[in-house]
Amino acid sequence: MSAPDAGPVPASPAPPLAGVLAVVGVGLIGGSFAAAMRQAGAAGTILGAGRQPQTLARAQRLGLIDEAVTLEEAASRADLILLSVPVGATGAVLARMAPHLRSGTLLTDAGSTKADVARAARQALGDRIAQFIPGHPIAGAEATGPEAARNDLYQGRTVVLTPLPENRESDRLLLRRAWEACGAHVVSMQPEAHDAALASVSHMPHFLASVFMGQVAAATDSGQRMALAGTGFRDFTRIAAGSPEMWRDVFLANRKAVLDELAEFREALDRAEQSLRDEDGQSLYDFLERAALARRFWGSRSRL
């Protein structure tokens, strides 16, 4: 019984976006999502699943997850599931989870390619495909493992969602809100457009940095060379330290778009090399100036 002159009944806190959140693969990306969702009060219980029991135990000790569970338990208990696994493993993980999923559960992923992930999800989930929204948080670091997870990793970063025609509007909105709760800026696009853009600005830098690093390391005098390497070398090659497994999967998954970019890069390389061969200072200057202006313009607008 409430007295008529009492103030307004205090609103009970809004329920979390995900009563039960499950993260498959609790490394940098998955662990940071768990930490950011918890920090925002956007997740109730957080479950962790993955291949390595030791990794799950470390994630639990770090407070990233409340419980380590199997893929099947994650599927049957969670309201929202983020897959953070090498893109080549997406289909197999979803196939194991599919029979245990509740109809209200929403799944997404964090893979660096999206067309192949959408295909693999369709095959694994069949008529449950509406429950899966492909996604890609554009954030990362050379550090890996749950120890590298940070609740601010997604602050100010872009997350691309590539919704499928079958997805429900309410689910798209929920997923957008979840990423926004982590501090991210969310954009939507077609999977193929995502893959073409990322082939250019993410996969190509990794490919080229790795080719270059391998070439330097294979030189007979690599020790002397690398003793004279400075901060330019350090930054240019930083990404080459990344996970070979993850990146092999990315290149295979986005092979066609990366090969297209490589062809374009080779044309530009041919022109620049010809200018150098010809000792054509003006043409070299023009090429370097275009690149410098483009990079400075990008740097002045980027939030990174």
Site for a copy of itself in 231-290 (CB under 8 A): 231-245, 247-248, 251-252, 255, 258-259, 261-262, 264-265, 267-269, 272-273, 276-277, 279, 281, 284-285, 287-290
Candidates 31-39, 66-74, 99-107, 230-238; binding stretch for a copy of itself (CB under 8 A):
230-238
| Contact pick of 85, 139, 149, 184 for a copy of itself (by CB under 8 A) | 139
Interface positions, 157-216, toward a copy of itself (CB under 8 A): 157-158, 160, 187, 193-194, 196-198, 200-202, 204-216
Residues 29/140, Cβ–Cβ less than 8 Å? yes
Smaller CB separation from a copy of itself, 100 or 150 = 150
Smaller CB separation from a copy of itself, 54 or 224 = 224
Residues 116/91, Cβ–Cβ less than 8 Å? no
Query: Which residue type occupies 277?
Result: R
Alpha carbon distance 59, 202 (integer Å): 28
Alpha carbon distance 29, 148 (integer Å): 9
Smaller CB separation from a copy of itself, 101 or 247 = 247
Candidates 18-26, 122-130, 136-144, 162-170; binding stretch for a copy of itself (CB under 8 A):
136-144
Q: Which residues contact 303 (CB under 8 A, 6 or more apart)?
A: 156
Q: Output DSSP code: residue 184.
A: P
| Beta carbon of residue 225, minimum distance to a copy of itself (angstroms, whole number) | 5
CB atoms within 10 A of CB 18: 24
Residues 36/183, Cβ–Cβ less than 8 Å? yes
| Beta carbon of residue 249, minimum distance to a copy of itself (angstroms, whole number) | 8
Query: Which residue type occupies 66?
Result: D
84 near a copy of itself (CB under 8 A): no
| Beta carbon of residue 289, minimum distance to a copy of itself (angstroms, whole number) | 4
Q: Which residues contact 161 (CB under 8 A, 6 or more apart)?
A: 108, 133, 134, 135, 172, 175, 176, 179, 186, 187, 188
Interface positions, 22-51, toward a copy of itself (CB under 8 A): none
| Beta carbon of residue 194, minimum distance to a copy of itself (angstroms, whole number) | 8
| Beta carbon of residue 49, minimum distance to a copy of itself (angstroms, whole number) | 25
Alpha carbon distance 50, 36 (integer Å): 19
| Beta carbon of residue 81, minimum distance to a copy of itself (angstroms, whole number) | 24
Smaller CB separation from a copy of itself, 172 or 238 = 238
| Beta carbon of residue 36, minimum distance to a copy of itself (angstroms, whole number) | 17
Please tell me the count of residues contacting a copy of itself according to CB under 8 A. 91
Q: Is 65 exposed, middle or buried (0-12, 13-18, 19+ CB in 10 A)?
A: buried
176 closest CA partner among 159, 191, 193:
159
Smaller CB separation from a copy of itself, 70 or 144 = 144
